Structures are given as structure tokens and as C-alpha cells.
A and B are shown apart, each in its own frame.
Chain A
Amino acid sequence: MAPGNSMPSRWLTAVVALLLASPWAAMADDNPGQNALKYNVRGASASSRDNHPRALRLHEMALKARLAADDISGAIMELHNISVDHLRMNNLDASQSSLSNAMELYEEEARMGMGREKEKAMQEAMAHVTTLKAIILLDNGSHEEAGKWAERAMVYCQKSGCIDKGRIMNVRGRVALAADAHDTAETLANGAMAENRKNKNQVETANSIRLLAETAEARGEREKANEQYQKALVIDREEKLGNKIAMDLLGLARGYAAMKDIESAELFAKRALIVSNAADYPTGARSASELLEKLRQ
């Protein structure tokens, strides 16, 4: 000790040294489980920034780490994430293939037998996988098949006590609407809206309201449909979801066109076209252009 150092200064030095050393003491182990968590979180971050190739790479690393740790439910979840990444890169085949791998993994594990806690985690992961499968099928026009997968998703969800019920109900509502079962679609949309509000899931709440609007539109109840589209539009604007805003605007344009208010219809269709182009939503842009063309004739 250097001569002349006072007692308080010695104590201060000791505390600073302890504070500096504590991070090293608490340093994380480089084990597969923690690596998987790290890659999963970073993948989600990359996905939220629309950097899907990086998200895919990180999710693949996470899958490898999950498998290294024999974490099958985690692996199924990573396969789901990989499927979503492929889908967002417009690689439908690879997306479907990842989902098939996830289902195969679940079936193998089920044959081996699993503990209750593990089973719950697996079923929760499978609820996500089967919901995604249903959504993909629905987007590709196979609403009957999509309905079957949505039913399976609901079974997994109920068994695992998941909080994703509202989303699955929305999917089932869309399936019912596609099959012209308007009453069922309305019932499911109302149920989904209640679930989503309870879980404070704004995006899915807006989806439920839009589903109600579309059901009313299919029944020819134009005013009611427009009212619901307006409600959905408010939430979608809050959430800043370009393609959803475009869907709401298009619904409104169709409603006004049906009520012979051509000026308002054209206004909403133009707005839908601008939003679709800005949000890189080609389906919306195409629908808006076609509607504008019809209105001008």
C-alpha cells in the first residue's frame, strides 16, 4: 500500500474493483441453450427490420443450437420461424418444407413419449406451426384444407392453454367467409375480437373487425361494412401497417362504389393505390388500379 493513502480512499478502491470484477464473475456460459436464445432474439430483431435473409441465417443457427441441446419444442419453434422467413422472401416451397420438417419432428418425439411439461411446450409450438400452415393454404386459395389445419391449430392451442386463440379464430373466420358461411364467419370474428381485445393484440383486433366488415360486404350490407372498415382503419393507422390500411381503404372504396357514391369511391381507391405502392403491396395496388379503371368507365 502506498504511504499516505487514507482509510476511506482504500475502501473506495475496493468497491470500484469489486464493481469492475462483477461482470466477469457473472459472464454467461457459452452453452447451446443460451446461444439459441441469443440467435432467436437477434433473428426476431432482424425480421422486424425486414432483413429477412439475416433473420433466416440467425434462425437456422438457433435451430442448430436447439438441436444440439435436444430442445425439440424449441427446434419446432425455430423451424416455424425459418418457414416465416422463407415466406417473407417469397420462397413458398422452402417455407412449406420447413413446416413439414417441424411436423415430422413433433411426430417422432410423440412416438418416443414425452413429459407433461415438454408436451405442453411442444403443443404450443405446434399451434404456431399448424396456424401458419392454415394461413399459407388460405392465401393460396385452398380454404377447405386451410379449415382442417386451423381446426388442428385450435386443438393444440386449447391443450397448451395458449393465448393465440383470437388469431386462430380469425383464420377460421376467414375460412368460413371463403366458404360463404356468413353466420359462422360473423360468430368467429366476434369471438376473435373479444379474445384479441382481452390479450391486447391490436393487430389481430383490427383483423377481426375487418373480417366483420368483409362478412357484411358479402351479405350486401354496405353501410355496416363501411362502418367496420373505418374502425379497422383507425387501428391499422395506429399500428402503421401499410398493407392493412390499403385493404381497409379498398373495402371502403368498394362500399362507396356499390352505394353509387363514385366520387368518394374514387378518392378511397386512389388513396389505396398510393398506400399500396408505398408499402410494396402489389396485390393491393393491382386491386386499386382495377377498381379505379371500373369507376372511370
Chain B
Amino acid sequence: MAFYSQTDRRFRGLELKVGLFAVLSIAAMVALMAYVIKRSDLFSPSSSVYFFVKSGEGVKVGMPVKLSGFSIGSVLQQDLWDMSKVEKRHSAGLSGLAVKVTLDIKTRYLEWIPMDSNAFLRKENVIGDQIIEFIPGVSHVSLKPDEYVKFEKEKTLNDYFEMISEEVKKVQEEAAKTMQYINDPNGEVRKAFENLHDFTRGLVETREKIDQSFITMDKTVLNVNEQVMQMSQKTQKAIEDLNKALNTTNDALPKTFRKIEESIDSISNVVAEMKKLTESLTTDLPEIVETGVDVSRDADQVMESLKKTWPVSSNIKPPKSAPLEVDSYGAR
């Protein structure tokens, strides 16, 4: 080495350079590992919760557990379990042998899962992987570590096919019954078809009869036409007679109308005269009434004065205003 360092400048301080490179590499590796560990959440504290299923089909260890589409843990383990040892409220109605599935949930997420939440086994997409998803409940109390959660299995395509198959079977049975009913030789449908056949045959006979009737009608119409012609001639004659009568009336009517017009003119004249008279009275009447009042007042004054004149006044008591007499036994 000393030889190389003497002959080639690049080998000077090579030990130091290699040592520095090794230290930096180790430091970078440690930093990378620390970063990876931190990102992978490997050492964050987690808690277990569990549920029971009849069959562990579809559930796999390591399967992701999600809440609102966000990964909060994974399936930790599956064990066969004797349900007789399980409390009834946690047994999910299962008896005998079942599978206990333990989920590993990051402890910090437990506070977001209400106690009455349900865990579902479902496919992430139509063709995606299966996951376990929590549907949050409404309780204000959060899920605690090592607690039981309810579990429901989402219906798979097979389940739907089975349901459809059941429905189709029912429809097939109904269709078979209907066909049997239609094909029954003593059934109502067959009889209805037979009746329809008879009716169609009858229609042909009816049509022949109608054709004959039309021929007879043609003859009758010809007879009627002749009779109508005869009647028409008679009517023509009657109309001529009526025309003659109307001509006579036409001569007489204008004279009558002229007389009526004359009468109406006379009435109009009378009405006009009456109108003039009324107008005249409307003007004169108030004057007549006023004059009457004046005359009455004058007469009144003459009478009053006469009453006060001797010797008439000696026989007349002076008038005195007095209240009307009211009887103590009822004023009416």
C-alpha cells in the first residue's frame, strides 16, 4: 500500500477514506432501517378483539381489517373453539364447534370503534381481495382490548345464485301447473277453444243468411222507392196548395202590420205627451207644494191672530204646553 501511495496520488489516505465510507454506509443503512420500521408501524402497540364464525371459510390470517376504508389492523389467528364454554351473549347463536377469529387492531384506532360496531367479511371490490370491515355503531363507549365483536358474513355470489335458483324453481313449478291446466281435455281452456271453434263455424252460416237478407232488402227498397215517388207527387201538390194560401196571406199581412205600426205611433205620441206632462209637473209640483205651505202658514197666522182678537179671544183658553199624560197602570 505504501508503495502505491508513493507512486499514485490516489492511494494517499486510502484507509481513512475506506473507514469514512464504511461508517457513512452503516449510518445510512441504520437510518433507512429506522425509517422503514417507523413507516411500517411495526412497533406501534396493538390490541386483540375476537368474534366467532361457524366456518372459517374466507377468513385468512393476515387478512386486512378496515374501518371506513382505512386499514386499522389484520386477522391475527384462527382457532377451533368449543362454543359450550362461551358465554351465551357472545356465542352469536352458534353451538358445538366454531372458529374463533382474533383480530389484531392498532390500539390507537380502538377509540374510533364504538362498542356496538359490527365486523363484516366482504370483498373489497367485485373481483378484489376479501377483507374484514368494521361498520361503526352508535354507542358512545369505544371497543376495549380483548373484547368480543359481532360478526356478519356478506352474501357472496353463490348465496345470491342460490336465492335466485330457489325463486326460479318456484316459477317453474307454477308454469308446469299452468300448462297442465291448459292441456287438461276437460279443463275450461280447452272447452273455451272448442266453443270458439263452434262460434266461428256459426259465423260462416250467419254470413250466408245476411247475404240472402241483403238480396231481399234490395227488392224491398225498390218497392219503397216507388211508393216514395208516389208520395212525393202528392206532397208536391200539397205544397202548391199551401203556396196559394200563403200568397193570399202575403197580401193581407202587410195591411195588418201597417195598422199595428199606426197603433204603435199613437202610443208613442201618448207616451211623449205624458213625458212632457211629467216634466212639467216635476218643475211645477215643488212650487205648488211651497205655495200650499205658504198659504197654510198664512191661514195659520190669520187663525192665530183671529184667536187673539176680541171677542173671539175671550172664548179661547190660551194654549199651554204640557207633558203627555201617562197612566200609573202602564204607559202604553
Contacts and interface: CB of A to CB of B under 8 A. Distances in A.
Contacts of A74: 321
Given A23-B309, A27-B304, A28-B305, A207 B327 contact: yes
Contacts of A55: 324
Contacts of B308: 23, 26, 28
Contact of A36 (B321, B328, B330): B321
A40 interface: yes
B304 A84 contact: no
B309 A167 contact: no
Contacts of A171: 328
A55 B328 CA distance: 21
B323 A135 contact: no
Contacts, number: 87
A55 B302 CA distance: 24
Interface stretch (A125-133, A218-226, A252-260, A285-293): A125-133
Contact of B323 (A90, A128, A243): A128
A203 interface: yes
Interface residues on B, range: 20 to 34
Contacts of B329: 170, 174, 207, 210, 244, 247
B202 interface: no
Nearest to A87: B331
Interface in B300-332: 301-302, 304-306, 308-309, 319-332
Contacts of B320: 37
Contacts of B331: 84, 87-88, 132, 135-136, 139
A167 B326 CA distance: 9
A28 B301 contact: yes
A40 B332 contact: no
Contact of A41 (B302, B321, B325, B327): B321
A217 interface: no
A2 B274 CA distance: 55
A255 B326 CA distance: 28
Interface in B72-128: none
Interface residues on A, range: 35 or more
Which label, helix, strand, loop or mixed, suits the secondary structure of the B interface? Answer: loop
B324 A47 contact: yes
A22 interface: yes
A136 B326 CA distance: 11
A131 B329 CA distance: 12
A81 B328 contact: no
A81 B324 contact: yes
B322 A40 contact: yes
A44 interface: yes
Contacts of B319: 37-38, 41
Nearest to B313: A26
Contacts of A244: 329
A132 B326 contact: yes
B303 to A, nearest CB: 9
Interface in A115-166: 125, 128, 131-132, 135-136, 139
A77 B323 contact: yes
Interface string A162-185: 000001101100100000000000
Contacts of B306: 23
A87 B332 contact: yes
Contact of B328 (A24, A43, A174): A174
A135 B326 contact: yes
A80 B328 contact: no
Contacts of A25: 305
Residue of A27, A37, A203 with most partner-chain B CB within 10 A:
A27
Contacts of B321: 36-37, 40-41, 62, 74, 77
A186 interface: no
Nearest to B308: A26
Interface of A: 22-28, 36-38, 40-41, 43-44, 47, 55, 62, 74, 77, 80-81, 84-85, 87-88, 90, 125, 128, 131-132, 135-136, 139, 167-168, 170-171, 174, 203-204, 207, 210, 243-244, 247
Shortest 6 CB-CB contacts between residues of A and residues of B? A23-B305, A170-B328, A40-B321, A28-B304, A84-B324, A128-B323
30 contacts: A22-B305, A22-B309, A23-B306, A24-B305, A25-B305, A26-B308, A26-B309, A27-B302, A28-B304, A44-B324, A47-B324, A77-B322, A87-B331, A88-B331, A88-B332, A128-B323, A131-B328, A132-B326, A132-B331, A135-B327, A139-B330, A139-B331, A139-B332, A170-B328, A174-B328, A204-B327, A207-B327, A207-B328, A207-B329, A210-B329
Given A135-B331, A207-B328, 7 more contacts: A22-B305, A27-B302, A36-B321, A41-B319, A131-B328, A204-B328, A247-B329
